[in-house]
Structure 1
Amino acid sequence: MRIGDKKYLVSLGVAFYPEKEMLRLNKQAEEGWHFVKMNSLGILVFQKGMPQNLTYSVDYFTGSKEDYAEYIALYEHSGWQHVTTFMKRYCYFVSNCPAAIFTDEKSYQTRIRQEWRQQFLQSLWVTLLGVLFYLAGNFFFGGSFDNWPIIYFAVTLVAIAFPVVLLMSMGTIKLLYQKRTKYYNKPEKFAKKQNIVRDTVVLMILGAILGGSLALLL
């Protein structure tokens, strides 16, 4: 969608498809649309400008607030200009140099492992919220789920199972793209191997199986 000199696109999912997302940003820059930020709704914002051949990359920051300035300075010293940071973790950089942001496979493996571990730990808060919903449901609607409003029951079920769903998604993506880290210095080639439609269908099927199993257990 375009509004004036700005363009808006829905993110493909920076957690699971950073390579494909960055290839998308590169192509937008070639057309004169330069990435500005990703808002809280997951919408990519672009500013109209001159067409340029640029290389975008994203890294996951795992340090403290005190380390942030030094972290950004390190990348900028290496020729990567900081564009924006999403959720205080996903740091976007741009360069007119085609060199990859990661220098070896191990560093890319570490980046993915740290990111997914931190996301899983944060997801446990959603489960805690789900447990509170469950206790409140028992208090207000009784112990039988048949008496619970269907929307309330669905929200409670999703919240409790969220970490499991996240782990399932991570495991599925890892299984589908087992050679991902070998493309640490060729993200654009790996991006072409990513199939979001297929992955979504697979995850929906697995999610339906998991949801049905949890519903039967409860």
Structure 2
Amino acid sequence: MGRGRIKMKQTKYVMSGGLAFDEERDMKRLASLAQKGWLFEKFSPMGYTLRKGEPAHLQYAIDYRKQPDRDYFAYFEEAGWTHEGSAGDSIHLFSAPEDVAPIYSDIETMVEKYRSEQRLMGKSAVVALLFTLVLWWMSQWGIGGLAEGVVSILLVFSLIALVFTGLPYLGYTFKLSKLQK
């Protein structure tokens, strides 16, 4: 009987701490894993998918820009940064060798970065809160039947939306207060 080779898994999932709360820690973790040969492949739900490759000494950085154009990515490329992937059309991950200057080197640009995300999450959280309050109010009326079931399901979804927008809003608000001290 011949021995088969053990095939190593070529991808792995890494959970994110949440960009609004742990962006810096996530980027350091990705850099540490890159040194072990686990390189960013794509954004995944609530985390990242990494692929096995050659160990690399990289730094990672996130930038937020809604619907970027070619000039946006060219700017980063000229500065020595490689676009690794995007989550939706507004969260972009870049990598660069460790000796390349960081994307954000001053407080003002970091404040601007987080303020735009704070505004976006704040607006979304207010909408989710309004839907949640209206649906909760409707659920208190005791509608009954199918309508009550539909309202209950919508209430659960609106609560989930409130958590996924309200918590990042609070995270960005906290980051901004720390940066502006």
Say yes or no: TM over 0.5. Answer: yes
Instruction: Tell me by how many angstroms 1:6 deviates.
Output: 0.2
Superposition pairs of residues 65-84 of structure 1, within 5 angstroms: 65=67, 67-84=68-85
Contact conserved, 1:30 with 1:51, CA < 8 A, in 2? yes
- What is the deviation of 1:59? 0.8
Question: What is aligned with 1:55?
Answer: 59
Task: State the Cα distance separating 1:74 from its structure 2 match.
Answer: 1.1
What is the Cα deviation at residue 29 of structure 1? 0.2
Alignment of 1:3-42 (within 5 A): 4-39=9-44, 41-42=45-46
Give the 4+ runs in structure 1 shifted more than 3 A.
Answer: 152-175
What is residue 116 of structure 1 aligned with on the other side?
118
Instruction: Give, in whole Å, the separation in 1 of the partners of 2:32 and 2:49.
Output: 14
CA distance in 1, matches of 2:170, 2:22: 16
Alignment-mate amino acid for residue 16 of structure 1: F
Unaligned runs of at least 5 residues, structure 1: 142-147, 183-218
- Conserved 8 A contact 1:128-1:160: no
Q: Give the whole-Å Cα distance in 1 for the aligned partners of 2:158 and 2:17.
A: 26
- Structure in which a larger fraction of residues adopt strand: 2
Note the 1:26-175 alignment, pairs <5 A: 26-39=31-44, 41-62=45-66, 65=67, 67-98=68-99, 99-134=101-136, 136-137=138-139, 138=141, 140-141=143-144, 152=152, 155=156, 158=159, 167-172=169-174
How far apart, in 2, do the equivalents of 1:122 and 1:10 lie? 24
1:81 aligned partner, one-letter code: T
TM-score (norm 2): 0.75
Separation in 2 of the partners of 1:167 and 1:11?
A: 17
Summarize deviations over 1:23-62 as a string: whole Å, max 9, x none.
00000000000011112x2131000001111111111114
SS in 2 for 1:110: helix
Distance 1:57 1:156 in 2: 31
Select between 110-119 and 160-169 the one with higher mean Cα deviation.
160-169
Greater helix proportion = 1
Distance 1:5 1:71, change over 3 A: same
* TM-score normalised per structure 1: 0.64
Whole-Å separation in 2 of the counterparts to 1:50 and 1:83:
16
Q: Per-residue CA shift, 1:158-198, capped at 9, x if unaligned?
A: 469757666555445556xx2x479xxxxxxxxxxxxxxxx
Q: CA RMSD in A?
A: 3.3
Higher deviation after alignment, 73-82 or 25-34? 73-82
Classify the secondary structure of the residue corresponding to 1:16. Answer: helix
